[in-house]
A and B are shown apart, each in its own frame.
Chain A
Amino acid sequence: MLATIDWHIVWKQLFHPDSVFGRALWTTVYMAVIAQALGVVLGLVAALMRTSKVRALRILSGIYVWLLRGTPVLVQIVFIYYGTNILLGVTLIPNTLNLGAFTLDGAVFAGILALGINEGAYMREIIRAGIDAIDRGQMEAARSLGMTHGLAMRRIVLPQAARVIVPPLGNEFNNMLKTTSLVTIIGVHELFQDAEIRYSQDFKPVEYFGAVAVWYLVLTTVWTFVQAWIERRLAASERGDEVTFWERLVEAWTPVQAWARGAR
């Protein structure tokens, strides 16, 4: 069976990809990064709105999570790409977006927007859990020293909550790297669409989709290492003791961790 696989194609896709593929890979990466950043910002705003004194803001925050978590992200992507301009009566999503030095494809812009807005709803829950995990005494101590709620959040509560937030945030970004494949539906040439196009030319699904799966795996694996590094830095500043980089890596990278446990 393995003999029927055209290993030449797999080899080329993995080790000698062309520049078209390179651009697709890059598109996947920057879409995921920007969408995740947007999600964190929206999630933080929504989490702070949730504890606001203003009732309307609290309700708005609830509706946001309810809507975005209650509908498929695929529907949201298509809806935002095709529906936004019609709905608003103005061209919010242009064919191409001119950003000075470079231009952004309208579909890419819509894709980032949809993924980011969707992600914000999940991030709100994660950030909220992080804030709730911090002892109430921290806020009280900060306020007893004359800090306002905002200052106490920024200097005392959020830095501590960050340590709680980072591990699930890492999972979210891992997901985001893969979820970007959905924007193929609105015609963005990212990793998955690249494989689709090549497959449609010579009908070699195992080769192209297999190779692209490996590329996704490479992205998520690299991210695992980055995340471990971030967590290590946060933990060191919190505990005030030294944990080696490798200890944290082993702790964070599950397969290695399982292996290490077995070896002991």
Chain B
Amino acid sequence: MSEDGHASILRADDVHKRFGRLEVLEGISLDVRRGETVCIIGPSGSGKSTFLRCINHLEKIDSGRIEVNGHLIGYRERNGQLVEDSEKNIAKQRAEIGMVFQRFNLFPHMTALGNVIEAPCRVRGIPEKQAVASGERLLARVGLEDKRDVYPGKLSGGQQQRVAIARALAMNPALMLFDEPTSALDPEVIGEVLEVMEELSREGMTMIVVTHEMGFARKAADRVVMMDEGRIIEVGPPEHFFQAPTEERTRRFLSKIL
């Protein structure tokens, strides 16, 4: 890995994944450089979310390889074969990769701050005082410093998703994965979540965002990836996508949602 600041954070090489007979990923290869924001778009069932979940090994892959920050994810090479890594090692790798879910998945029995400091304290062993201080900073960063002692059940969807972003950021991840982060939100609160994400992108966080929000893709993405039927069919900067997409399927998809 070179140290020129454009090093690859993610390298996915010919990733295949099947659920029973259904092949959901038919050879995905994608490199994401440090600081880049990549948006993955495509019709539902195209494998976007599955690919994202393979990156932090929430899903096993059937062949190919995924590296994050130069480390093979989920597997270990033994005699030229890939075998699944130990639970502990996989957990360690996941700690370096933040993930934001469509349905937030906040821990309902913990306050907003409790959600944010849980992993730093329990996984990294950071002293509580220190974790609280940085947790408060993170909540302020997503505009929720006044909600630190509030339980998720009392927060709006947009607020919950912003807490979820702060929770993922608390582990200082090298890479952030967003799995349709605004799809479960009411239209009027989508903006506040996208704003936080745009800000993160500007600050140089490496992000992979599965989304239907073309406005966000246009504004924040360095590259847009179009997936269909388990394959990447087109990659390019947003201008290319929204002005002159090459592929007929991309044109059809964009005409439907724009």
Contact = CB atoms under 8 A, between A and B. Distances in A.
Interface of A: 135, 137-138, 140-149, 151, 155-156, 159-160, 237-241
Contacts of A138: 105, 107
Q: What are the nearest 8 A-B pairs in CB distance?
A: A146-B95, A240-B151, A141-B105, A145-B119, A137-B105, A144-B99, A146-B123, A146-B94
A151 to B, nearest CB: 6
Given A145-B123, A239-B151, A240-B111, A140 B92 contact: no
B64 interface: no
A167 B48 CA distance: 41
A236 B212 CA distance: 38
A51 to B, nearest CB: 14
A146 B99 CA distance: 11
Majority secondary structure, A binding face? helix
A143 B92 CA distance: 10
Nearest to A135: B105
B242 interface: no
A137 B109 contact: no
Interface residues of B, number: 33
Nearest to A138: B105
Contacts of B123: 145-147, 151
B249 interface: no
B150 interface: yes
B256 interface: no
A160 B167 CA distance: 19
A38 to B, nearest CB: 27
Interface string B115-138: 000110011100000000000000
A140 B107 contact: no
Given A143-B58, A160-B109, A240 B153 contact: yes
B107 to A, nearest CB: 6
Given A141-B105, A148-B87, A149-B87, 5 more contacts: A142-B107, A144-B101, A151-B122, A155-B118, A240-B150
Instruction: Give the interface centre of B91, B95, B118, B150 by most chain A CB atoms within 10 Å.
Output: B91
Contact of B94 (A137, A145, A239): A145
Interface in B161-208: 164, 167-168, 171
7 contacts: A137-B103, A141-B107, A143-B91, A145-B167, A146-B95, A146-B96, A240-B154
Contacts of A149: 87
A140 B105 contact: yes
Contacts of B250: none
B211 interface: no
Contacts of A240: 111, 150-151, 153-154
Interface in B43-91: 56, 58, 87-88, 91
A237 B109 contact: yes
Instruction: Give the interface centre of B58, B92, B108, B123 by most chain A CB atoms within 10 Å.
Output: B108
Contacts of A151: 122-123
B107 A146 contact: no
Contacts of B111: 240
A239 B167 CA distance: 20
B105 A145 contact: no
Contacts of B98: 144
A146 B119 contact: yes
B97 interface: yes
